[in-house]
Chains A and B, each alone.
Chain A
Amino acid sequence: MTVGLEHYLVVSALLFALGLIGVIVRRNLLIIYMSLELMLNAANLALVAFSRFTNSLDGQVFVFFTITVAAAEVAVGLALIVALYRKRQTTHVEDLTTMKL
């Protein structure tokens, strides 16, 4: 069976689910952040696959923008984590409950 669009979409869905499991189950802020990157990459794979199989490059342009925004997001997020660690000496989400009622 030749590899088509649906194969790539299945891989993308599985990768997205893996990232979502990481965000929900893991309790370390840094690993939650890496799982977010995994989810973004899954979306990128779906976009590139659509762009290939519909013969239009718009999907690839979107992925280009996604990668740029993800880079900016990682920079800001990691700066926030460092600032948080300076104040609290922890990256464990269950220790960060100031906003909990």
Chain B
Amino acid sequence: MQDALFYILAFLTLVFGFLVIANPFSRNPVTSAMFLVLAIVALAGLFVLLHAFFLAAVQVLVYAGAVMVLFVFVIMLLDLKEEERRKIKVLGIVGGLVSVGAILAIFLSSLLNAPLGAVEAPVLDGSTVRLGKLLFTEYLLPFEIVSVLLLVAMVGVVLLSKKDLK
């Protein structure tokens, strides 16, 4: 049952991810954004299969909720015309695909040679409680620094969005 769910969700994630970057039916950025939402939701399903329930919720709330709303808002704000077809640089695309393929080959070959073994997944119980405890004891300093980072980002965005940017 869980294995079937994994294959379904992994397939959906990859298909939606592909449709984000190369949709054969539309070149509109809004379509890409919608498929990115679907890919993120499928990824949240994979997180549930990995027993990371809290992160699955955060993924849907923060990514599919907040971040993608921001994306769609900016796309609509910019009011982009349908992107006109430009002449595609074949050399660039071929070079890009070859280099990505090479990186992927390195990934997969190192994965094949890794001594992972067929370990049975151990049972994590009450993972949200443990995650919270870990976050507020061992990782307290990074947690506070992240809050400062969010403040800095907010100030920066307000400054960048001013009408007369110096």
Where the two chains meet, the residues of A that have a C-beta atom closer than 8 Å to any C-beta of B are 1-11, 13-22, 24-28, 30-31, 33-35, 37-38, 41, 44-45, 48-49, 51-53, 55, 57-58, 60-61, 63-65, 67-76, 78-83, 85-87, 91-92, 94
Contact B74 A38 (CB under 8 A): no
CA distance A71 to B13 in the complex (A): 20
User: In the assembled complex, which residues on chain A have CB atoms less than 8 Å from the CB atom of B83?
Assistant: 28, 92
Where the two chains meet, the residues of B that have a C-beta atom closer than 8 Å to any C-beta of A are 2-3, 6-7, 10, 13-14, 17-18, 20-22, 29, 32-33, 36, 39-40, 43, 46-47, 50-52, 54-55, 58-59, 62-63, 66-67, 70-71, 74-75, 77-78, 80, 83, 86, 92-93, 96-97, 99-101, 103-104, 107-108, 111, 114, 116, 118-119, 121-122, 124, 127, 130-131, 134-135, 139, 142, 146, 149-150, 152-154, 156-157, 160-161, 165
Contact A15 B14 (CB under 8 A): yes
